[in-house]
Structures are given as structure tokens and as C-alpha cells.
Structure 1
Amino acid sequence: MSELIQNVIDSDEKQDLRQFASELRISEKRYLLRNDILQAFADYCLKFQKSDHFVHSSNLSKLIYYTQEIILENESICLIVRPQIATQERFRLRPDLSVDVMSVQELLDLRDHFVDHHHPHEGNIFAIDFGPFYDYSPQLRDSKNIGKGVRYLNRYLSSKLFQDSNQWLESLYQFLSLHSYNGLQLMINDRITNQNQLSHAIKKAISLLNKRSPKEPYENFRFELQEIGFEPGWGNTARRALETLEMLDELLDSPDHQVLEAFLARIPMIFRIVLVSIHGWFGQEGVLGRPDTGGQVVYILDQARSLEMELEEELKLSGLSVLGVQPKVMILTRLIPHSDGTRCHQRLEKVYGTKNAWILRVPFREFNPNVTQNWISRFEIWPYLETFSIDAETEILAEFQGRPDLIVGNYSDGNLVAFLLSKRLNVIQCNVAHALEKSKYVFSDLYWQNMEDKYHFSLQFTADLIAMNAANFIISSTYQEIIGTTDSVGQYESYKSYTMPGLYHVVNGIELFSPKFNVVPPGVNETIFFPYTRTEERISSDRQRLENLIFHLDDPSQVFGKLADPTKPPLFSVARLDRIKNITGLVECYGQHPELQEKANLIFIAGKLRVEDSSDYEEAEEIQKMYHLIEHYNLYDKVRWIGVRLSKTDTGEMYRVIADHHGVFVQPALFEAFGLTILEAMISGLPTFATQFGGPLEIIKDKINGFYINPTNYDETAAKLDEFLLRCQYNIGFWNEISQRGMDRVYSSYTWKIHTSRLLTLTRVYGFWKYISKEKRADMMRYLEALFYLIYKPRSQELLQQHLQR
């Protein structure tokens, strides 16, 4: 039994536990989440005049702190306790304070009964359990290592090389002999036929290269190395080739995890990459600010550019660029025939600033042209993904003249397509969630049937389960994206166990201790987003034009609100206009606090200005709410709402203009998986206030290079902003200090070069792991196919039938 509960029962506080349970029964709620529980305990302590020590340090307070959920039954109380991250315990507390440990299945049954106690499900329900399929792979032991999977996997592989040298060295030899590019054999040729010959050949090649000048180009000794058995790919100079061969020699003699990673990182095995992003308006112009289009588009375009640059550099160092080997990056998305003035109807579009990176758009099959020729919400896209993947496969093979070497999925739909493509093409699959909707919508699993018409979570959550378990590796932007914090559940962790009543139970949806998880945060496009102080790189005409738009332009088609005093420092925000991004919450916070209105204006770029111009119901609701708030708090001359789509270049200058006026950036999202706009604002020089719910906790160090806010607590948020503004009034050096620290933070940890270098290294390491353990994934893949064809596909066909009637 949990030590947390036992400590309460073994102490004098057991009467408080019984009394607290009685108080819970008086309330109307029968299912309490963590915030409800904390509030109920606070109310209890206030009602019974408990001491500060009891409130903060008693055994009962500790139990309450770690309790995530409480379900009130007829007589008993069920507690779901999370004593540490990635760990969950379940208990049934009876009236006599006896405690029973509950199984996952018992908890899921209880949740089902809670939802529909009048018509409980009869018989067994389908249970999904991925636990047994992770027996083939090594497992991390300590939760603090979650997100560092490749480091653990390297140690595991190098230890295997040491323990069972013959088998593993043979695998390494076979792996090296696989690599080629368009018929050009790489690394080793048929003069080396086994691992023993490989060892002798390495020493002979090292002796040869030691006699060469370190800077001598590969072409000068290429044929001598071929005679020994080594093909192109070892290095572009004698020094580089010698270093690579010495790594392999050391690896064969005394395996080490650091040497293994460094060696695998040098193998030229990645030339063609597919980045999959299906939903939304994916383009380079005229798309930002539209429904389903935001940070993900920026992320992928920047990633594509950086991947091409990194691959070019790697191919140059490996000696392959002189042989005409060139990388190619393809962004796979959907073609939208009715493209509303964008280029989303074009099949192929080159990515700006690249040599060989492209956007490849493939149309959905026209089951109903009234639907498929137009934009389709990310919540409605599911019926078209299987046939899209089939059509996309043909297009990809034609464009590459062969198979890709890596497929990266983005978001739930892109990850599912990545699964379908990688399964058929036998290619390494990487997943990037960006955001998992399950964490954003409270009780979205338990009450899925009530939300199905609007959100179709049964399809999305099933797609997530399939894709995340199929992936060879997963990259997240933050550690807490995987397993949360001490007091909040991570996005991936939320898939560990849950129920969708009447559909299925998830007993074990994802193995959090699998080494497939790696934290690889994105970077910032430094050519567009750079400090406001670099005036020589700024274009004065752009600066003046945006100054006018932000502070002065009187055009109701572009802006709403006219500032009475434009000289006040601006509170600035930019985001989609939806509930989660919470721009309306920021306006309400500002409206409720006159002291903020006295010190600063509120300026934000968010969505459209007219309800009739929006095709997204959530955006339309937020537009109506925005006008109501501005009227209610009489903010017409203090708020500036900009409803235009800015180019990336203009967005970068927008941040800098706000910094010129010593403004601050506020990111008020109710939840933010990462927060690319935070990096953009910080690198531009804006002191940043960002939500404490999600990824910003790992970007910002509170009160050092930025500030955390609780966007649900308006008084607290306003007080922090007011304190900062007041301090800056008396000491402008404080603004400069926070500004500089924010810039330093981004440059040290969040560049695209760091990101893409790590991504390519991960691909090579997991590619090696995939090769040596391939026979052990077959059972997992069969299980995933069963989920796809028996659960996902029938439900997607039901949604398709609805679309056919439109």
C-alpha cells in the first residue's frame, strides 16, 4: 500500500481523513480532478481552522498534494495517487479506513460506471495493452532519464558489443555493408567478407592514412582504400577518414557508448527525408493566422532548411559531395484545390532559401468534392489519411527516384501517415506530437461520446496510440511533454491508461520507460528573428510600416481599437484565436485591472476581426467573446487588435518594434506544448511572461530570463506584470537586463543547428537498433495493424459517410 496513505492511517490524522471524506460527499461533485481536490482541502482547512503546519506539512496534506483524482462511490472513495512522475497508484478507501489496492482494469471499470451508471456496459470491453510488446527492448529504470533514450540505448548497445562480441560485431559488419546511394556502394565492399577481415583491413587502412598529409583530399587515396575494401563515406580528408577508422577500431576492441554514437553519427546513411504535415494550410505565404496553421508550419519549414544545410555539411565531411551526392528534403502535405489565394493548390513548391527542399502536395481523393476540394479541420481529416498515404507513396518514390531514409510525422494525422508509409517502405519513423489534444480537453476520453460530433477524439486518440507505439523514436520539445512535472501529468503519460467508455480500455497505452523518447527542442530562424539592437540588419521602411500598423493605422479591415496614448509601453501577444491560446483571457485580465491599463497598452495579433470571415467555429466564438470583453471593460482606446496575416519577415520585425518601445511579450495559453513564439520574442529582446502550464517551464528560468504566469489567475498575472512595469519605470536597466538574459538563453540552447544535428544522429542510432532487432518488432506491428483495421478504419468510414452527405 502507498506510504502516503499508510502514514495518514498510522497517525492521529486518520480522523481528519475520515472527516475530509465526509466533506467531499456534501459537495455536488463526484469526480474531482487535482485542482478540485486542492481547493476542497483548502476549504476543509479553512472551515475547521487548521494550522499552517497541518495545511502544508501534515501527512494528509502530502497525500492530497499527490492525489490526481478522487472518485466518490456509494460508500467508498477511490484515490488515484501519483507519488512521482510516470508512476500511478490506485486505492479504494472504505468507510472504516481500510484500503484496497485497485488494478488498472478495476479503475477503468469504475470510470465507465461513473459515466453511465444507469446503463453500465455488460460483458467485457476490448482492452488495449502494449506492455508485452516492449519486452524486446531495453528499459530505463530511473524516470529522470526519460527523454534521454539515445544515451541509454548507446550504453546498451556498447555493452552488448562487449558481452557477445562475435554476434554483435557480425551485426555491425553487416550493417556497414548495407549502405549505398543510387547504386554507389558506400563504406565497405566485397573484398571484406566478414568481421575478422574487417578488423585486419581497418589496421591496414590506418597505417596507410598515417603516412598521408592530414589535409590530403579523399580523391588522392580513394582507390588505395578501395583495394583494401573501403568505399567512399569515411571522410573527405586523410585526417577525417583516419579519425573515423580509428573510432571503428576502438569500437571493435573496447566498445564504449560515446564512441559508438560518435561513429554511427558519421555513417552516411541519410540522403532523403520526408517531413509529414497533413492538415491545415501548409505554405510559405498567406497561411499563418488561418485555422489549423501556426507554429507547426514555421517549425517544419525551418527544420527543412536546417536539415538540408546539416546534410550538405555531413556529406561534404564524409567525402561524398565531390561524387555528386546531394540531399533532398520533402515536406509532404495535402493539396487544397480551393486554395483561397494561397499556393496550397500547387503540387510542388520549392522551400525558400534551399537548394533541394520542396513542399509536395498530394490531394485527397474526391469522395465528395464539396468537402475534399476545400480546407478540412484537423478534427475532420481522418477518413482520407489511408488513401492519402497510398497516393503519397507513389509521389514520394517518383520524386526521390527511390525510398526515403527517414520519415518524420508531425501531429496526430501526420504521425499516422508516417506509420502507414514507413510500414510499407520499411523506413525509420520518427514522431513529433507538437500537441496531443487529449491533454488539452478535460475528460476528452471519459466523455468522448459527448464530444464526438465536434472533435472525433475516438479517431484521434486511436491514431495517437498506433503512431506513438509504431515509431522507432519520438522527439519531444520538452521533458514534461513526456511525463509532466511533479504536480501535472505529461502529454504522453496521459496515454498510459484511460478509458473511452463503450469503445475500449487502454490498460497500457505507451511505455514511458522505453528508450524511444528523446528531448530535442526546436530552434529559431536566426535570419528572421534576431535582437532589436542589430539595427544595421533591420529595414527602415519595414520598421516604419509596422510602427504605423501597430500604433496608428485607422483601417477597420485590419485593426480594431485606437490607442489614446501610444507612448505607453505595450503588452504584446500573438497567437491563433482559439480557447487554448487564451488571448481573450489576457484581454479579460487586462480589463479587470485598471492599474495595468494606466501603465501599458495591450496589443495583440490574433485571427480575424469579423465572425463571418472565419470558417472555424472555435475562432468564431472567440471573436464574439473578444468584442464583448472590449465593450464590457470599455477598452476601446487601450487595446489594439490586429487581424492581419503577417509574413515571417514582418513578424520578426514586429517583435523588434515592440522591443523598441520597451514592451513585453505575454503568452497566456491555458496549455502550451512548447512555445515557439516565446523563443521568437526572447531572441528579439522582449522580456517574456509565459504560461506555467507546459513547455515554457523548460525554456524560461523564472525571474532570471523571463517570468511564469498562471493564466487562470488574473489577479496574480496582473500583479506580476504590474510589478515589472513599475520597476522598469524607475530603472530601465532592469528591462535591459531581462532582455539580454532572454537572448542569451535562446542562443545557448535553442538553435536549429543543434536540433537537426541531434535528429540526424538519433536516426542513425535507431536505424542501427532497428536493423539488429528487426525480427522482434513483427508482433508489435501485427497488433498495430489490428487496431488500425478493426477500430480506426471502421470509425473513419462512418465519418466519411457523414462527409458524403454534405
Structure 2
Amino acid sequence: MGFKLLQLHLHGLFRSRDLELGRDADTGGQTLYVLELARGLAARPEVERVEVVTRLVQDRRVSQDYAQPHEEIAPGASILRFPFGPRRYLRKEQLWPHLDDLADQLVARLQQPEHRPDWIHAHYADAGYVGALVSRRLGIPLVFTGHSLGREKLRRLLAAGGDHDQIEQSYSISRRIDAEELALAHADLVVTSTRQEVQEQYARYGRFQVERAEVVPPGVDARRFHPQPTGAEAEALDALLGPFLRDPELPPLLAISRAVRRKNIPALVEAFGRSAVLRERHNLVLVLGCREDPRQLEKQQRDVFQQVFDLVDRYDLYGQVAYPKQHRREQIPAVYRWAAQRQGLFVNPALTEPFGLTLLEAAACGLPMVATDDGGPRDILARCENGLLVDVTDLEAVQDGLEQAGADQARWHRWRDNGIEAVSRHFSWDAHICSYLALMQGKLEARQPAVARSGDSSAVPSRLADRLFLLDLDHSLELPAGDGLVALRQHLEKDARSGRPSALGILTGRSLAVARHRFTELHLPDPGVWITRAGTEIVYGQENSSDPEWSRMIAVDWNRERVETTLQDLGAHLKLQEPEHQGDFKVSYLLRQSGEGILPLVRQRLRQRQQAARPSLRCHWFLDVVPMRASRSEAIRFLSLRWGLPLERILVVASEQGDGELVRGLPATVVLAEHDPSLDSFRHQQRVFFASRQSMSGVLEGLQHYRFLSRR
């Protein structure tokens, strides 16, 4: 049997044909790479199946193709679309609240042996977050490719004068960086395109381990990108570009990219307009995606196009600049060849370029390059020797580089030949797939699942009940309950006599001994499970020790003493709580001044010291630091897998600051009337019910809403 592979590519619009590349910032080069990777892997005899997981979208504004749950890419390769979040199309920055839902759905599918892959490859931060959760819960090896990284984007935006708060609002940059850190902490292998990414970008992450990184440059499809033109395509290109140009035979300076600020196209137009040499010698051809209706473009795209139009007008470039309104994706190879026939140059003026696949496509078609001296182009030029690099932040450097590159015909021919030969040797899809599979076979050794299997020798019942009802001892049961508590006791007693009773579970930040003492005062049925010390301990029934499998899972990379040492110099903000509030996997502090401002500082310290730990704030005053793999939410999912209990049959109650983790994903959630304002952001979630009453009355209202107890 061959390999079974799962690729996660969550945002943008993804299908097996006619990719809408350049439609928006989310449907770009990553989309094409994942599609070609799936096709290339499926063609290999050692690969049995490749599945690409993406988002199911039901939106009249986009094609119905994206609403199909299953689509074939090629024999052995398919697309699986899962619904999560609203039905409509969303940009990637709006997907974060819904990713836990997808992770839960994937775990439910992949725990079935016939669907379990040999490894998961997550593309970009959103997929990295989901991949990390699935890998953690099922023990499936994880490969991560960031494609572009949040820390680098933040650095660039701040350097360009951006406001940090505005950047956060527009790009959810903190959540993206947190997701990248989580993915790097769980990744068995990090695949990058260039050495520069490893040395200068990934190295800025606290959880990155350089020994787990490998450089595997993307491949070029030689069937499409080659130097031999056809007469038919030449005529089509003349019709597409000729109307813009007075002298279409002049060597073109060709740029192909999305119309976004990072691609820096206006700088290229300005450099061209300022140079009499370039204007005399060349045309400028800009292929910036389709713009059938400018009103449907994102604001950033509209702004870039407007800058281009203004510069064309300012320098009177009419007849020398082509910017076609429409083109088909299958025309792109012909555009490269059209430019190469006229001894033109491919220009990539991007401010940052993680790789630069278009540079390789151009080279394969015989078109030399002038490119940004950032990231991937350095590696490409080192292999191809087919052009030169320039500092694109300096307009004079861009102008000088373009003038120099187009001045020597003999050198142009040498660059052309070098590029064609080097792409064939180093950057073919065959070479990429061979390197990729060799890494998987060599680096990703089979691991034991992270959850107990059927027949495990541990003394844990396969399932305590048909449903699990989880109450928060520290708040829901701590409030004055009155008649509500009596009514809840009666409901639970009736449920116990039903023949299919629910198990009662308790969530608490306290120790097991303190929790049990407090619980006896409530006179409720005995809990079947206790999730204590902020999710770091799971104890069953009347037992006294935590599930050893859970303890083993969360202990990975945890060092309690180093966590304390790391945060020791924050004594002006934090005070260690008394020993009875501490745990083997929990370091608990009391804030000297309430507020969430301390959380970013604590996270930063833990990352800088490479501690696999996560802080959480409860009730505005209490800060717990626990292992990265531990939380109440993860404990619930561990139980779901341990017992074979679907998450949809679990109900939790939330009300406090820090309960956001309980509200995400597939379990049913009841939010009490008197709740922390931070929970209001979850009102749009499908499986969250906001009760109109508080305390036990609100709990009962939620139980009735879901018809949770004594169901038939």
C-alpha cells in the first residue's frame, strides 16, 4: 500500500481547474502550488491517495464549484470541502473564529482507519493552526509550510509607517503569529522554499527548530512553461496587448502579479516613466489580474490600479504601457514566450518575495529577469544565473538595473540559455516531488497515536455515558443557585433513571481534593470525570490520580521550573499564588493589577526562552501558565477520543473571562446571562446558546434548548 497524504489549504477559492488566480489576496501562488503538488504526488507510484482539504463556500457571488463537498483533481487526488463558519466567502483574516470547528470535523473523520493519512501538510498559518490541533490529538505527523509569515509581514508594514493597532485590526496579525508558533511547536518538518526564509524569517519564532527545516524549491510545469511558441498563441497575444502599444515589437519589461502593495508595481511604472532610455528602448507590460468590475475589487487593489493609472498619466506613457483588463490563466505561459521572442525582461519589483515562482516560469520560457534582492530571488539567481537583482526600495537602483539588463544583447542570450537549462535541472516538478517524498520517508517516522486505542490496558471505561454534561465548579456552581440548583438536581436524578443517563463532569482550576470538598455541599450526583487544575489533570469517578496518558501527552517539552524562572523578573506585575494552587503542570499567579495587558508580555517572555507553555487569564486577576498542549478544551477532546464520544454529545457551560476556548468547535455551549463581555463575540457561532437567565436557571434553560438530558 502506498502513502495516504492530506494537504490543508483553507482560505481563498480552490478547485481543480480554471483557478481564479489574482481574484483577491487569498487566491494567489499558494493555491497553484498546492494544486500542482497534489497532481504531482498522485502521479507517483508510491502514493496511494492525496486529499486537499479546503473550505466549502455557498455564495452567489462565487462559482457553485466551491459548494461541492468532493471534487476529483486527478486519478488518486481529490478535494474535500468542509463547511465551517458562515456559508458566504470570507477573507482569511475572518476565518480565525471558525477554525476549531474544522479541526473537530477533521479529527472525527481521520480517526477512522480508512481515512487516516500518513502525514498532514498544512499550508499557511490558518492551516498550520488546524494541522497542529489534529496532529496533537491523533498523533499524525505534521509538515508545515508558512508560504509567508506574520512576523515578516508585521515588520514590513511597520517599516512602511503602518500603525500597529490598524495592522492588528486589518490582518489579525497577533492571531496569525500565535498560530504560526503553534504550528512550529508541533511540526515534525518545516518545508521552505529558500535558505533566506530559514535564516531570517523562521528563525525569529521561539518554537522554530532549525534542524526540522528543509529547503525544497517549488517546481515548474514543463508541459506549460517552455520556450517553444505557437503561431496561434502569438496572434492571441498580439490581439490582447497590441491595442495598448504604438510599437508592439519593442522588448517588453513584463510584470505579472496581483495588484497589491507588496508587489510594488507603481515603483516599476515610475522608474520606467523617469527613464528616457527605458522609454526609448522598451514597452512596459503589466498583467495584474482581471478587473471586470473595479467596484468588486478590494480597496487595496483599487488603490494600486489607481496609482498605476495616475503615473501613466503623469509621465504620458500612453502607447508604451499595456495593462489588459482581462486574461485567462492558460495564457500566462504564452505571455512569457511573447516577451521572450522580443528579447524582453521579466521584472519582479516586490518589496518582499518568499520565493518567486513567476521568476522560474519566466526562465523556463526563455525570459531573463530583473528582480527584488529579497528572499527567493537570491536562491533562484544563484542557481539560474539569468539576470540581476536590485534594491527595489531605491527608484534609481531599479532604473539603473533595468537599463543595464537591457543593454547587452549577447548577455541576454546567455541569460536566456542559462535559465532554461537551470529550471530543467533544478526546478522541475519531478525534482520537487522526488525531494518531497524522500524527506517524508526519511524524516517522518511512524508514531503512536496520542490518544488511547480500543483495548488499551489503562483502567478507563470505553465510555461513561451516551452524553457528557460539563459544569464549571468555580463559577456556574459557585454563584447563588437557589431553586435552580434544586431543579438541576431533580433533572439529573430523572436522567439517571432514564436508562441512557448523561455523565456529569466538573471543570475547575482547583485541585481535586478542594474541588471534591466543595462539590459535596451541592448534593448533586457523583461526577463521572473531573477536569481539574485548569485542564491539566483528568480524573475519573472516585479515582485519585490523573489519566497517565493525558499527563504523558501534555508533558511534551514542559519544564515547570524554567517557566517560573522565565517569569521571575515580572514580579512587579505577577505574584505566585500559594502552593495549594500550584500543580505539576500549572504555574499560577495573582496579578498585582487587573487587566489583559500582561498577557502579551508573558507570551513574549515564554517564546523568547523557548518555553512550550501558554498563559491564560481568568476573572481578570488569576493567571495560569500551563503546557502548550494542555487546556480545558483539549482535555474535553481527549475525553471525546478516549471514550469514542462525539463532540456533538458534549455540553459545556461558559460565563467567565478565559472561557472562549470552551465556546469554539463542535460541543454545545451554554453562555449564562451574566457573562464576561469577551464572550459576546461568539454570538454568531452556530452551537452557542446565550441564556436569558443566570446561574443554575440559565444552565437549565440551555439544557432545555438543546434537549440534552433524557433524550430518546
Is TM more than 0.5 here?
yes
Of residues 368, 371, 374, the one that matches 1:690 is: 371
Q: Distance in 2 between matches of 1:792 and 1:603?
A: 50
1:549 matched to which residue of 2?
Answer: 240
Q: Secondary structure at the match of 1:672?
A: coil
Instruction: Confirm whether residue 282 of structure 1 aligns to residue 14 of structure 2.
Output: yes
Partner of 2:217: 521
Q: Where does 1:56-71 land on structure 2 (aligned, <5 Å)? A: none
Provide closer, same or farther for how the CA distance between residues 329 and 435 of structure 1 changes in structure 2, counting only shifts above 3 A: same
Note the alpha carbon deviations across 1:85-142, whole angstroms, 9 max, x for none: xxxxxxxxxxxxxxxxxxxxxxxxxxxxxxxxxxxxxxxxxxxxxxxxxxxxxxxxxx
Name the SS of the counterpart of 2:347 in structure 1: strand
Question: 5+ unaligned residues in a row in structure 2: which ranges?
Answer: 452-551, 558-611, 613-625, 634-657, 666-677, 686-712
Q: 1:802 to 1:579 in 2, by over 3 A?
A: farther
1:636 paired to 2:305:
no
**1:311-332: CA deviations, max 9, x gaps?**
x1x37xxxxxxxxxxx110111
Q: Structure 1: how far apart are the matches of 2:164 and 2:661?
A: 18
Q: 2:173 matched to 1:457?
A: yes
| Partners of 1:481 and 1:694 within 8 A in 2 | yes
Structure 2 equivalent of residue 250 of structure 1: none
Contact kept in structure 2, 1:655 and 1:684, CA below 8 Å: yes
Tell me whether 1:671 sits opposite 2:352 in the alignment. yes
Write the mapping of 1:485-500 to structure 2, written as runs, cut at 5 A.
490-495=200-205
Q: In 2, are the aligned partners of 1:702 and 1:708 still within 8 Å (CA)? A: no
Aligned mate of 1:362, from 73, 78, 82: 82
Paired residues of 2:147 and 2:354 also in contact (CA < 8 A) = yes
User: Partners of 1:610 and 1:722 in 2: how far apart?
Assistant: 34
Residue deviations 1:493-539, cap 9 Å, x none? 232xxxxxxxxxxxxx13444x2111111111111111x2x35xx4x
State the alpha-carbon separation in 2 of the partners of residues 791 and 720 from structure 1. Answer: 56
Match of 1:650 among 331, 341, 344: 331
Q: Counterparts of 1:739 and 1:411 in 2: how far apart (Å)? A: 33
Is 1:350 the equivalent of 2:72? yes
| Distance in 2 between residues matched to 1:436 and 1:601, nearest whole Å | 35
Aligned length: 476
Matches within 5 A, 1:348-747: 348-351=70-73, 354-365=74-85, 372-394=86-108, 401-442=114-155, 448-483=164-199, 490-495=200-205, 509-513=206-210, 515-530=211-226, 532=227, 534-535=228-229, 538=230, 540-552=231-243, 562-609=244-291, 612-647=294-329, 649-701=330-382, 704-728=385-409, 733-747=410-424
Residue 602 of structure 1, CA deviation: 0.4
- Provide the alpha-carbon RMSD of the alignment: 3.1
1:628, 1:771 → 2: CA distance? Answer: 61
Structure 1 residues 661 and 736, CA, compared in 2 at 3 Å: closer, same or farther? same
Structure 1 residues 185-221: Cα deviation after superposition (integer angstroms, max 9, x where no partner): xxxxxxxxxxxxxxxxxxxxxxxxxxxxxxxxxxxxx
1:334 to 1:396, Cα distance in 2 relative to 1, 3 A: farther
CA distance in structure 1 between the partners assigned to 2:356 and 2:368 by the alignment: 15
* 2:578 aligned with 1:801: no
C-alpha distance in 1 between matches for 2:142 and 2:433: 16
2:388–2:405 Cα contact (<8 Å) kept: no
Pair 479,803 (structure 1): closer, same or farther in 2 beyond 3 Å: farther
Preserved CA contact (<8 Å) 1:277 1:409: yes
1:475: Cα distance to partner? 0.7
What SS class does the counterpart of residue 444 from structure 2 fall into? helix
Q: Name which of structure 1's ranges 651-660 and 438-447 shifts more when overlaid on structure 2.
A: 438-447
Q: Is the 8 A contact 2:138 2:449 kept in 1?
A: no
The one of 56, 61, 64 equivalent to 1:335 is: 56
Alpha-carbon distance in structure 2 between the residues aligned to 1:425 and 1:786 = 15
Match of 1:209 in 2: none
One-letter code aligned to 2:376: G
Deviation at 1:389, TM superposition (A): 2.0
Are the aligned partners of 1:382 and 1:796 in contact in 2 as well (CA < 8 Å)? no
Contact kept? 2:384, 2:419, Cα under 8 Å: no
Q: Deviations over 1:721-741 (max 9, x none)?
A: 11222222xxxx332211010
TM-score (norm 2): 0.62
Structure 1 residue 309 corresponds to structure 2 residue 43: yes
The Cα of 1:703 is off from its aligned counterpart by 9.7
Match of 1:783 in 2: 627
Contact kept? 1:701, 1:707, Cα under 8 Å? no
- 1:763 Cα deviation after fit: 1.9
Residues 1:791 and 1:600: Cα distance change in structure 2 (over 3 Å): farther
Local SS of the residue matching 1:689: strand
Q: CA deviation at 1:361?
A: 1.3
1:408 is displaced (CA, Å) by 0.2
Q: Secondary structure at the match of 1:510?
A: coil
Asked if the contact 2:225–2:361 (Cα under 8 Å) also holds between the matched residues in 1, the reply is: yes
SS of corresponding position for 1:350: strand
Is 2:663–2:682's contact at 8 Å kept on the other side of the alignment? no
Asked whether the equivalents of residues 671 and 694 of structure 1 are also in contact (C-alpha less than 8 Å), the reply is yes
Instruction: Write the distance in 2 (CA, Å) between the matches of 1:796 and 1:281.
Output: 24
1:608–1:623 Cα contact (<8 Å) kept: no
Report 1 or 2 for greater relative contact order, CA contacts < 8 Å, sequence distance ≥ 6: 1
Structure 1: any 5+ residue segments left out of the alignment?
Answer: 1-180, 182-269, 316-326, 366-371, 484-489, 496-508, 553-561
C-alpha change, 1:800 and 1:747, in structure 2 (3 Å) is: farther
- 1:472–1:770 CA contact under 8 A, matched in 2: no
Rounded Cα–Cα distance in structure 2 between residues aligned with 1:449 and 1:788: 30
Taking a change above 3 Å as real, the CA distance of residues 751 and 443 of structure 1, as seen in their structure-2 partners, is: closer
Equivalent residue for 1:751, pick from 416, 428, 433: 428
For the structure 1 residues 708 and 788, does the alpha-carbon distance in structure 2 shift closer, same or farther, using more than 3 Å as the test? farther
| Cα displacement (A) at 1:542 | 3.2
**Alpha-carbon distance in structure 2 between the residues aligned to 1:441 and 1:713:** 21
C-alpha contact 2:22 2:28 (8 A) present in aligned 1 = yes
CA apart distance, 1:719: 1.3
Q: Once the 2 structures are TM-superposed, how far is the Cα of residue 307 of structure 1 from its aligned partner?
A: 1.0
DSSP-derived class of the 2:80 partner? strand
CA contact (8 A) 2:132 2:183 kept: yes
- Report SS of the residue matched to 2:71: strand
In structure 2, how many angstroms separate the alpha carbons of the residues matched to 1:772 and 1:381? Answer: 28
Cα deviation digits, residues 692-712 of structure 1 (max 9, x gap)? 011110111399322112111
8 Å CA contact 2:659, 2:679 repeated in 1 = no
Are the aligned partners of 1:404 and 1:427 in contact in 2 as well (CA < 8 Å)?
yes
Give CA deviations for 1:229-272 in whole Å, capped at 9, x if unaligned. xxxxxxxxxxxxxxxxxxxxxxxxxxxxxxxxxxxxxxxxx521
The one-letter code of the counterpart of 1:588 is E
Letter of the 1:337 counterpart: Q
**Judging changes above 3 Å, is the alpha-carbon distance between structure 1 residues 801 and 773 closer, same or farther for their aligned structure 2 residues?**
closer
Query: What is the CA deviation profile of residues 530-555 of structure 1, one whole-angstrom value per residue up to 9, with x for unaligned ones?
Result: 1x2x35xx4x3333212311223xxx
Query: Quick check: 1:581–1:670 contact (8 Å CA) kept in 2?
Result: yes
Matches of 1:468 and 1:788, distance apart in 2: 22
8 Å contact kept, 2:386–2:416: yes
The answer to whether the 8 A contact 1:572-1:604 is kept is: yes
